Amino acid sequence: MPVPDYGVLKGKAVGKSRGKAGDGAPHLEIHMTAAKKNYRASLAVQSQQAPSELMYLVDEHFDWKQLTELRGLSDGFTALDERDEIAVDYVRSGLFDTSAMKPLPPNLAGRDNGLETVVEQYVNLAISSPGAMIYAFGNRFGPQKGKDKIFGFSPQLGLYDLHMNQGNTAEFRDEDGVYQDGALLIDLPQREQCIAIFLAFQSQSFRTDDRTGHRPAAAAATAGGQPVLPAQEAARRKKRK
What would you report as the CA-atom Rg of the chain, rounded to the nearest whole angstrom?
17
pLDDT tier at 48, thresholds 50, 70, 90: confident
Which of 200, 159, 198 minimizes the C-alpha distance to 60? Answer: 198
Task: Specify whether the CB–CB gap between 16 and 124 falls below 8 A.
Answer: yes
User: Is pLDDT of 152 > 70?
Assistant: yes
CA 54 to chain CA centroid, nearest Å: 13
Q: What is the mean pLDDT of the chain?
A: 87
Kindly report the three-state secondary structure assignment for every residue of 130-143: CCCEEEEEEEEEEE
- What pLDDT shows up at residue 112? 60
Whole-number Å distance between alpha carbons of 160 and 165? 11
Question: Structure pTM?
Answer: 0.87
Backbone φ/ψ region at 193: left (φ over 0), alpha (ψ -120 to 50), beta:
beta
Is the per-residue pLDDT at 221 higher than 80?
A: no
The band of 52, judged by pLDDT with boundaries at 50, 70 and 90, is confident
CA distances from 8 to 88, 115, 144 (A): 10, 22, 19
pLDDT (tens digit per residue) in 157-214:
999 999 999 999 988 899 999 999 999 999 999 999 999 999 999 999 999 999 999 9
pLDDT single digits (tens) 11-47: 999 999 986 656 667 899 999 999 999 999 999 998 8
pLDDT band at 235; cut points 50, 70, 90: very low
